[in-house]
Structure 1
Amino acid sequence: MKEKVTYKLDRIADIWNSYIWEYEFCKKRIKFTPEVQTNYFGDILGYFQDTFDIIFDNRNSKSYADRFSNQISLLQSIYVQQDFIEELLIIFKCGINKRDLKKDSNYLINREIRNELVGHPIRKHKGQFISSCLFGYNGGSDKIVYLRYHKDNDYKFESMEYAVSEIIHRHKDFLNNYFDKILIKLKKILTDFTKEIEKIESLIDKKSLEEILKISEVFYESIFEYDFIYDKESLLKINKRKEEHKRYENLIDKFYQDLRSSLKEKREYAVELFEPRKRIENNDIEKPIFDISFVDASQISRDNIERPVTYHYELGKLATKRNPMDFDFFGGCLRRKCSKNELVLNELDHMESNIYNDIEYFTAYRLICSELNED
């Protein structure tokens, strides 16, 4: 029961993190207020995750106090989740408000139980006594029982009983229904967004770099955070110099490569998010066959073990440790490993001479990465 609603909430979170938060095009299609720009949305998702166990997991009660505490927690968690659903519907502009929710019995019945028993156990309106409620001791963990005296019944005693399973089932249907409505809206947003991605993909080979960057500023701004010096100004400067040296041409080629792969990845992921959920049965899992052979370790000579040369560590440090002392150390390590590679040695010299010049430093750095297949 919990698994299905959790899965849908995870899809909403994935879309938020990968698309809504990243792209102005998507933000404009929801109510992206200053409050939403804070961690407000993340707090809502976190509260859902924190309270799913309270609602959907059975908990034993060893005493009346335990039972009342568990039932209050259940009703209050449902109540707050209802409020957060209302908030999500507003954020995603689903066209559904509280008045609409009150027409939904899965919302209204549970909310009234909570309001009577937890929210307003003694209720007055304009000074007039309306009702009072208190927990009944004759219930069990499987049902909520309370005693009610209400104006509508001439304050005569009533015993109210609600099966916990029915309360949870109503809330489960409520969540599934409105998560589905939110996902329908998000699917429309992502469908429109992927159309813009396809337009950019079709224009890459037809438009100049400057035109592609202008289009990306409007529809695909995340590319500018993809790597060092991928800002518009730097890219245009580098592009003008791509005939001067291979390092500039390489950087522009890499930008186009990253743009194409990123667009493809975003387009495919937008489709994948709405594909039917796959269930993997144990019988469908092919069990691997292991062929294990034992070797006497004493017969293996350390001299015969060839260790591959790697450059990832040094390159990682050179990308982030930009000061003469660190460059001297990590650049020196890389020089020793690449002592016969003239291109790498020349570009390291160029980096060292331009350690505080972003364009010169990182174009040389990226050429080294390409040369060593460390892109």
Structure 2
Amino acid sequence: MSTQAEFTKGIDKTKIIRVSEKIREAWNDYFLESQYCQKQINFGPEEKTNYMGDLLNYFDDTVELLERIPLKSNYQLAVYDTVSVLQLMYIGQDLIDELRFVFKMPQSSGADKLLIRTLRNELTGHPISRGKNNNFISSVFFTRNSHGEVIEYLRYHKDKDYKPEVIRHQWSELVRMHEAYLLVNLNDIFATIKSKLKRYQNQLVQFLEAFPKLSFEGIVTKTEHLFETFFEHSSLCSRSNLHHFYQNQDLHPRYKHCIDCFLRDLNLDLLQVTADLKQFRADELPVLNPQSDHQVLTKIAFTESSGKVFTAKPMQSNIRYHFSKLREKHPVFGIEYFIESYQDDPVLLCEMKHMQSAIADDREFYCSYEYLRHLFTIKGLL
């Protein structure tokens, strides 16, 4: 007759995974993106890979496997499960210490950790233990009472003159100890993360406060130092391109338009990120406005997905689609199509002729494209 497996309540997965998810969110949104945040932690080549994702996934797996602890009435089956469960707890401790290392924290400690590691080492890692010079230290073996709710084994240790001693623990006791260890350490790690993000938030707030007083070069340099991901939104938004637009802004409105878009959207993004950081540190869930059609701030006006700045009049059917194809230098809906379609408007025609002459120069072409988008918008065509 087969032995029916029974289980006792394990650790509370919900409370633990919730904190690990917040750590994952902080990593993906801030530490993986910001060099300023990376400098506050141990961020090496391995952290640039999917290392943290793998680590947290592995950690969550160990937690889920410990939700229910198997109880076997059969001694031999119980030994098998005991070894497995103790190893899972041991791995969880190692993963906690790896997280603490990444965020520049000392290794975990305490009686809860020590007991689990001692049990795992004696019953799974080194049932026969020898020290330096191969000196015998201890040996252990499970007793026949080690099943169900109980772990029990005999130990012969040199500190006890190798006299047998019975070591006995309840699974419920070990589960509560491991759960407490995980929660204390995860909350400690999360508190450290929030402290580091507070420093980042303060730097961004100071940047915002100084924004009106900084030179253009100062703004670009500060953005590179604190908010470098902003430059990833468009190939136009680079130091060299921005300097070119700035130096030529008095020659034609298209260059001034690109500079104005850069400053406007940078300011908006800084405001959004500081608000996001404040909300994250408060450990609140994001609240979305159900009446808003545009929940996410547009990152940069140089991209195809630029946000709405002006209220447009009724537009020609398919004009948005056609205009997006212009950006792609489409063979059908390209610059020639627009020149032919809007040749009666001298302002639009002049800018489209410039685009046509700069079709091989991406910086000039896309700068002109953004200015043309602006012209189409204020004319109610987009």
Shorter-chain TM-score range: 0.7 to 0.9
The CA distance in 1 between the partners of 2:138 and 2:197, in whole Å, is 49
Q: Kindly report which structure 2 residues correspond to 1:228-243, keeping only aligned pairs within 5 A, or say none.
A: 228-243=235-250
Change (3 A) 1:359 1:69: farther
CA distance in 2, matches of 1:79, 1:308: 65
Whether 1:160 aligns to 2:171 is no
* Between 27-36 and 229-238, the greater mean CA deviation after superposition: 27-36
Q: Which of residues 105, 109, 114 in structure 1 aligns to 2:115?
A: 109
Does 1:199 pair with 2:210? no
1:9/1:158 CA distance change after superposition, 3 Å: same
- C-alpha distance in 2, partners of 1:146/1:46? 33
Equivalences for residues 200-349 of structure 1 within 5 A: 200-276=207-283, 309=317, 321=328, 327-331=330-334, 335=338, 342=345
Q: Secondary structure at the match of 2:36?
A: helix
- Deviation of 1:149 after TM superposition, in Å, equals 3.5
- The amino acid across from 2:259 in the alignment is I
1:54 and 1:242 map into 2 onto residues whose CA distance is 62
Say which is worse superposed, 209-218 or 157-166, in terms of deviation: 157-166
1:7 equivalent in alignment to 2:18: yes
Q: Deviations over 1:65-119 (max 9, x none)?
A: 664444333222221221222232232223x24xxx44x0111111111111111
Give the superposition deviation at 1:219.
2.2
Whether the 8 Å CA contact 2:73–2:148 is kept in 1: the answer is no
Mapping 1:11-50, distance limit 5 Å: 11-50=22-61
Alpha-carbon distance between aligned partners in 1 of 2:374 and 2:87, rounded to the nearest angstrom? 57
- For structure 1, which segment, 117-126 or 151-160, has the greater mean C-alpha deviation from structure 2 after superposition? 151-160
C-alpha displacement at 1:28, in angstroms? 2.1
- SS of equivalent residue, structure 1 residue 273: helix
**Larger deviation, residues 54-63 vs 228-237:** 54-63
Relative to the length of structure 2, the TM-score reads 0.75
Match of 1:75 in 2: 86
Residues 57 and 270 (structure 1), Cα distance of their counterparts in 2 relative to 1, 3 Å cut: farther
Distance 2:337 2:166 in 1: 80
In the alignment, structure 1 segments of 5+ residues that lack a partner are 281-306
Structure 1 127/8 Cα, relative in aligned 2: closer, same or farther at 3 Å? same
Which residue of 122, 131, 136 corresponds with 2:128? 122
2:359 to 355, 362, 365: 355
Structure 2: stretches of 5+ with no match in the other structure: 1-11, 288-314
1:145-200 CA distances to partner (integer Å, 9 max, x unpaired)? 44434334444444433222322221222122222222232222222222221122
- For the residues of structure 2 that align with 1:132 and 1:25, how far apart are their CA atoms? 51
1:188 alignment partner, one of 191, 195, 216: 195
Q: Is the CA contact (8 Å cut-off) linking 1:2 and 1:52 kept in structure 2?
A: yes
Count of equivalent residues = 340
**Counterpart secondary structure, 1:32:** coil
Q: Which residue of 1 aligns with 2:182?
A: 175
Aligned-partner SS, 2:250:
coil
Counterpart Cα distance in 2 of 1:337 and 1:6: 59
Report if the CA contact (8 A) 1:56-1:168 is conserved. no
SS of equivalent residue, structure 1 residue 162: strand
Any idea what the Cα deviations from partners look like across 1:203-243, whole Å, max 9, x if unmatched?
A: 22222322211222222222211323111110111122233
SS of 2:151's equivalent in the other structure is strand
Mapped to 2, the partners of 1:139 and 1:340 lie a distance apart of: 90
From the superposition, tell whether residues 119 and 205 of structure 1 become closer, same or farther in structure 2 (CA, over 3 Å): same
State, as a whole percentage, how many aligned pairs show the same letter: 30
CA distance in 1, matches of 2:198, 2:91: 31
Equivalent residue number for residue 366 of structure 1 = 370
Aligned to 1:134: 141
Residue pair 1:338, 1:345 contacting (<8 A) in 2 also = no
Relative to structure 1, the CA distance from residue 65 to residue 312 in structure 2 (aligned partners, 3 Å threshold; closer, same or farther) is farther
Instruction: State TM-score, norm by structure 1.
Output: 0.76
Cα distance in 2 for residues equivalent to 1:241 and 1:130: 79
Task: Name the SS of the counterpart of 2:264 in structure 1.
Answer: helix
Deviates more, 1:6-15 or 1:307-316: 307-316
